[in-house]
Amino acid sequence: MNSSSSKLFILSTSFLLSISSVTSNSVLDNFLQCLPIHSNTSNPITNSIYVPNNSSFQYLYELRANNLRIISSSTISKPLAIITARHASHVQAAVICAKIHSIQLRIRSGGHDYEGLSYKSDIPFVILDLFNLRSTKINITSETAWVQAGATTGELYYKIAEKSKVHGFPSGVCTTLGIGGHFTGGGYGNMIRKYGL
């Protein structure tokens, strides 16, 4: 490469970089501004939006991020924001706005995740964190339970045991597993997905 073409190369690279960082900031801003429009005004979503400059952001990010290789890595990118939904409409808003603004959502319920599927990604992403949505309603007469995604299997077992000495629910032994992740196919160990039993 002669010197004039290498200068041209550097110029065009920095031009592209500055364009793409402007784009991703405004995509995030547009996403954040979209959230209140699509959620219930009597349950403001603003209190549930954490960007990296919020003082609790790092704490929240690490709270259920159990894989130290991932959280201590300087090369794995952190989420652009964490939405700690407190109302069903916050979940709806996060999904609708992520779709509109082409932002990847990683969804974390209330439990552990050693693979990091719910808190790491190769592309810019936002975490929808469901740990506040953890109510369980047990009806022993109908032998049914309504459980929100953020509850853990341990909480579900405990709530059933409070109501009955003979009922139970068959799932994992580990009580810190999130119901949302378990019901959607997680909680079977780090290698079973790839190798089976």
Ligand X SMILES: *[C@@H]1O[C@H](CO)[C@@H](O)[C@H](O)[C@H]1NC(C)=O
Sign (positive/negative) of CA torsion 138, 65, 129, 54? positive
How do strand 104-108 and strand 144-147 relate by DSSP bridges?
unpaired
Nearer to ligand X, 35 or 65 (CB): 35
Nearest Cα to Cα of residue 38 among 100, 83, 94: 94
Is residue 196 within 8 Å of residue 170, measured between CB atoms? no
Cα–Cα distance, 108 to 46 (Å, whole number): 19
Kindly state the smallest distance separating residue 8's Cβ from ligand X, in Å: 34
Tell me the residue nearest to ligand X as measured from the CB. 142
Kindly state the smallest distance separating residue 150's Cβ from ligand X, in Å: 17
Site residues (CB under 6 A) for ligand X, limited to 44-63: 46-47, 49-51, 53-54
Residue 159's Cβ-count burial label (10 Å; 0-12, 13-18, 19+) is middle
Nearer to ligand X, 8 or 22 (CB): 22
Kindly state the smallest distance separating residue 111's Cβ from ligand X, in Å: 22
Site residues (CB under 6 A) for ligand X, limited to 6-45: 40, 42-43
Kindly state the smallest distance separating residue 60's Cβ from ligand X, in Å: 9
146 in contact with ligand X (CB under 6 A)? no
Nearer to ligand X, 46 or 72 (CB): 46
| Amino acid (1-letter code) at residue 20 | S
Query: Between the CA atoms of 182, 45, 68 and 58, what dihedral angle is there, to the nearest 10 degrees?
Result: -170
Kindly state the smallest distance separating residue 48's Cβ from ligand X, in Å: 6
Nearer to ligand X, 146 or 195 (CB): 146
Residues engaged in binding ligand X (CB under 6 A)? 40, 42-43, 46-47, 49-51, 53-54, 139, 141-142
